[in-house]
Chains A and B, each alone.
Chain A
Amino acid sequence: MMDINAVVEALRQLYPNQDIKPRTVPVADTFINLPPDCVHAATALLMDRFDVYHLSTITGQDTDHGIELLYHFWDGRGLTLRTRLPRAERAKGEPGEAPVIATLTDLIPGAAFYEREIWEMLGVDFQGHPNLSLFLLPEDWDDAPPLLAQTPGAAVSEDEADCSSPNDNQNEKLEDQESKQ
């Protein structure tokens, strides 16, 4: 079983300038926040020093603070690395504008499907991923990534409706929705 205190200590040594605070989350998990560019090195540290090899999954979610990625590791107990990426101006198909993070597939090939799913569902570009192509969505999908909060069908708050949306077509749909309200 991994020793969370030792992991936290090692991460603090690796990133002395970061404020690394572990937070206990039910059922048996600990969350640690990290900047996006630290996730890859932190994963390598978990694997090399603590023999943590099992990445249960990666959760992607669109929150008020941007796109959040949660890397759920497991070794006798859970450890989740949480990172936040700025929300995309245009979420899909335009390199440089999509939220970007380094892939973990070079360390953990098992992360390939999870990253591919987040790419299509939230438009996050995983740099270095061997195959970012449609995985679950239909082959002719050309709409915005469906799990983004401003995508039609979601509960759109007024603040979010004002944000720039992924494409013009979508703006019209949003206006339609507002006029109906």
Chain B
Amino acid sequence: MTRMTIPIGPQHPALKEPLSFLLTVEGEYVIDSSLRLGYVHRGLERLCQERTYVQNVHVLERVCGICSHVHSTAYCQGVEALTELEIPPRALYLRTLLCELERIHSHMLWLGVLAELIGFTTIFMYTWRDREIVLDIMEEFSGGRVAHAVNLVGGVRVDVEQEHARSILTRLDDLAQQVDTFLDMIQHERTFQARTRNVGHLSVEQVHRYCVVGPVARASGVDVDMRRDAPYAAYDQLDFQVITAQQGDVWARTMVRSLETIESLHICRQLLQNLPSGDLTVRAPRRVPAGEVVSRAEAPRGEVIYYIRSDGSDKPARIKIRTPTLTTLITLPDQLRGVNTADVPTVLAGVDLCIACADR
């Protein structure tokens, strides 16, 4: 059969972000693929070297348009470790709260995108409608739906009053009911399962070979989660499960992310019900003592790692960011090999790509 090479992207039908793919197909089946990034590369690592530690909180929130808060969290806790600041418990709880709200938002958005790509528009409409609940909560909390600017080096900027916390808890209960409904729908919808089972398979060995992180690794049975393995913020005081599955396909990833959404709602309840009292910030020096730090956090897509080196001035000498999407992008040629072209969008969506993250 004749082989054809099809360029897909940078602007393409499956994703809203630019990514360039070169698919080699034989008939209807993909036999090889390669990819190229850089269409939203903004040079953020270099930019950070030109900005002060205070300004960089806001620069680094722009790494990702979905999980902006986890980036500033990883950065701030790195700088706080360098300056040896003791962060008030209330600030750590509020930081963690926004991390989990963001995870709920990201996972619901992802479920909608996947559903739309496989033609299940009803779920897409429902998840994106109900995602508004969590977006509203985040907007009330921080003033922004996506870029929150809640973190400061030394604490957080905004507080949650007792009455507000009660109102959030009520709405989270509504959301929990909806998430249960979605879970029920996808588990009993045969079309959904037919489109996702045995598609985009990754084995445990492949996860190890490619150093994959986050829900994609967990869906292949690799039990990693920085929230439990390297507790940061308030995670050491919380009770939660790390969700794993064994199948390693898009179906397993759907289940892992959906069940994680329920766990995140559970974490949010614990945080709001047990908010410690006290200050929101401690005073942070403008100049950071010379030294280096490696800071890790669990973004909705997996481990985020920041390496920060200070030369003792008010600007970092180097900030290195590794976002989780880079670890899953590299598995795509393996996942796509032998896949029917109609399943290519499902595979792409299955790993939950965030191209702006990967490009920085």
Contacting B at CB under 8 A, from A133-153, are 134-138, 146-147, 153
The 0/1 profile, CB within 8 Å of A marked 1, for residues 117-144 of chain B is 0000000000000000000000000000
Complexed CA–CA distance, A25 and B305 (Å) = 14
Does A113 belong to the interface (CB within 8 Å)? yes
> Chain B interface (Cβ within 8 Å of chain A)?
36-38, 41, 43, 45-46, 49-50, 77-78, 81-82, 208-213, 224, 229-230, 232, 291-296, 303, 305, 307, 309, 317-318, 320, 322, 326-327, 329-330, 359-360
Contact of A57 among B49, B224, B320 (CB under 8 A): B320
Task: Say whether A12 faces chain B, with CB atoms less than 8 Å apart.
Answer: no
Give the distance to chain A from B304, nearest Cβ to Cβ, in Å: 10
The answer to whether A59 and B82 have CB atoms under 8 Å apart is: no
A16 touches B (CB below 8 Å): no
Stretch at the interface among A73-81, A86-94, A165-173: A73-81
Q: Are B41 and A136 in contact (CB under 8 A)?
A: yes
Residue of B with least CB distance to A31: B292
B38 with A137: CB separation less than 8 A: yes
| Contact indicator B320/A27 (Cβ below 8 Å) | no
- Residue ID in chain A nearest B359 by CB atoms: A136
Kindly report which residue of chain A lies nearest to residue B208, judged by CB atoms: A53
Decide yes or no: A26 and B359 within 8 Å by CB, A54-B211, A109-B210, A135-B36 being known contacts. Answer: no
Assess whether B82 is in contact with A26, with CB atoms less than 8 Å apart. yes
Find the residue from B49, B81, B232, B294 having the highest chain A CB count within 10 A: B294
Q: Cβ of B38 and Cβ of A61 under 8 Å apart?
A: no
Q: What are 26 residue pairs bridging A and B, where the CB atoms are less than 8 Å apart in the complex?
A: A25-B293, A26-B293, A27-B78, A27-B230, A27-B232, A27-B295, A27-B296, A28-B294, A29-B293, A53-B208, A53-B211, A56-B211, A56-B296, A56-B305, A59-B318, A61-B318, A70-B307, A74-B296, A74-B303, A80-B294, A109-B210, A110-B211, A136-B37, A136-B360, A137-B41, A138-B38
- Asked whether any CB of chain B lies closer than 8 Å to the CB of A108, the reply is yes
List residues of chain A with CB within 8 A of the CB of B230.
27-28, 77
Contact A110 B209 (CB under 8 A): yes
**Do A72 and B307 have beta carbons less than 8 Å apart?**
yes
A108 surroundings in chain B (CB, below 8 A): 209, 211
Docked-complex contact A29 and B294, CB < 8 angstroms: yes
CB distance from B75 to the nearest CB of A (A): 12
* Docked-complex contact B211 and A55, CB < 8 angstroms: yes
Chain A neighbourhood of B292, CB < 8 A: 25, 31
Contact among A26, A76, A138 with B81 in the assembled complex (CB-CB below 8 Å): A26
Given the complex of chains A and B, what is the CA–CA distance between A72 and B210 in angstroms? 14
Q: Report Cα–Cα, A26/B305, bound state, in Å.
A: 13
For the complex, would chain B's binding face be called helix, strand, loop or mixed by DSSP majority?
mixed
For B37, what are the chain A residues with a Cβ–Cβ distance below 8 Å?
135-136
Most buried by B among A27, A31, A74: A27
Residues of A within 8 A of B (CB): 25-29, 31, 53-57, 59-61, 63, 70, 72, 74, 76-78, 80, 108-114, 134-138, 146-147, 153-155
Residues of A within 8 A of B49 (CB): 154-155
Known: A72-B294, A109-B210, A154-B49. A135 touches B38 (CB 8 A): yes
| B82, B212, B229, B291: residue with the most chain A Cβ atoms closer than 10 Å | B229
Chain A residues whose CB sits within 8 angstroms of the CB of B327 once the complex forms:
110
* Residue of A whose beta carbon sits closest to that of B331: A110
Docked Cα-Cα span, A154 to B78, in Å, equals 23
Docked CA distance A60–B309 (Å): 12
Contact B212 A110 (CB under 8 A): yes
A57 and B209 contact, CB distance less than 8 A: no
Chain A residue at smallest Cβ distance from B326: A113
Closest A residue, CB atoms, query B318: A61
Q: Would A109 and B209 be within 8 Å (CB), given that A28-B230, A137-B38, A155-B50 are in contact?
A: yes
